[in-house]
């Protein structure tokens, strides 16, 4: 048992070191989430509004809000993000390398923000949305996450790749059909941007990931520890 715990501890440390960007970002989100918990509701709304990538902010100080909006969670718990970052961001960073991983999430975050807010601006100008929505709150990390989820399509071996891609398109496409909000559009745009990042995946080391092969390797590792 002691040997197993030691092996598990070493594996966790190795995993964290292999995806530094993911876990530094996750740590920042933990800190900012704790800060949010200590703010009064009215103060929090104004605070997040100043860091929102809404139409007004993007037209006046885009760089600042694009960076700051990715450092806050729009309500909810931090723990689900820790799980999602470990399942998607960390494997993507390990596979692509920190630089290419940053390019993918940056392209998804920035591209989807401008596409969704541009669509909202069009709706406002044509009377399909109220003018007050130029200041709509839009913070969070979901666009970047959606882009990284999508680019991981190319990590899978065929035919698993096609099933994964179909699942991603359904998960992010269904809300766009049923809800049709600007954030639904942003999430789906993020997926398309992630899929368009295929050139960044070329020449990456390591074999394509196959679920059956991964299960066999995991079982072999567990039995060796025993």
**Number of C-beta neighbours around residue 149 at 10 A:** 24
Q: Contact 117/54 with Cβ under 8 angstroms?
A: yes
Per residue in 159-201, pLDDT (tens digit) is 999 999 999 999 999 999 998 899 999 999 999 999 999 999 9
pLDDT score for 146: 98
pTM over 0.85, yes/no: yes
Per residue in 93-102, pLDDT (tens digit) is 999 999 999 9
pLDDT score for 212: 66
Give the DSSP letter of residue 78. S
- CA-based radius of gyration for the chain: 20
* CA angle (140 as vertex; 193, 155 as ends), nearest 5: 40
pLDDT along the chain (226 residues), means of 10: 55 80 97 92 88 93 95 88 96 96 98 96 94 90 97 94 97 93 96 97 81 58 51
Look up the domain containing 179 and give its range.
Answer: 2-225
Nearest-angstrom CA–CA distance, 134 and 138: 10
Contacts of 206 (CB under 8 A, 6+ apart): 95
Q: Contact 45/137 with Cβ under 8 angstroms?
A: yes
pLDDT score for 222: 46
What's the CATH code of the domain at 147? 1.20.1540.10
Q: How many domains does the chain have?
A: 1
> DSSP per residue over 152-202, as a string?
GGGGBPTTHHHHHHHHHHHHHHHHHHHT--HHHHHHHHHHHHHHHTGGGGT
Q: Contact 69/51 with Cβ under 8 angstroms?
A: yes
Hey, is 126 helix, strand or coil? coil
């Amino acid at each position: 048992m002691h040997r197993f715990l030691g092996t598990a501890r070493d594996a966790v440390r190795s995993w964290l070191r292999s995806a530094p960007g993911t876990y530094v970002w996750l740590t920042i989100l933990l800190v900012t989430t704790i800060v949010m918990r200590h703010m009064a509701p009215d103060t929090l709304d104004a605070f997040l509004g100043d860091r929102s990538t809404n139409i007004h902010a993007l037209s006046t100080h885009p760089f600042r809000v694009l960076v700051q909006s990715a450092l806050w969670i729009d309500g909810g718990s931090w723990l689900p993000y820790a799980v999602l970052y470990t399942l998607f961001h960390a494997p993507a960073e390990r596979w692509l390398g920190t630089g290419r991983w940053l390019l993918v999430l940056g392209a998804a975050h920035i591209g989807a923000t401008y596409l969704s807010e541009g669509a909202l601006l069009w709706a406002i100008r044509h009377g399909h949305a109220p003018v007050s929505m130029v200041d709509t709150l839009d913070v969070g990390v979901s666009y970047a996450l959606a882009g990284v989820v999508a680019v991981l399509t190319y990590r899978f071996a065929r035919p698993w790749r096609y099933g994964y891609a179909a699942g991603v398109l359904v998960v992010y496409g269904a809300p766009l059909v049923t809800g049709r909000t600007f954030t639904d559009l942003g999430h789906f745009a993020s997926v398309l941007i992630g899929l368009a990042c295929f050139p960044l995946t070329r020449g990456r080391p390591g074999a394509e990931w196959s679920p059956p092969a991964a299960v066999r390797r995991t079982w072999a590792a567990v039995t060796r520890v025993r």
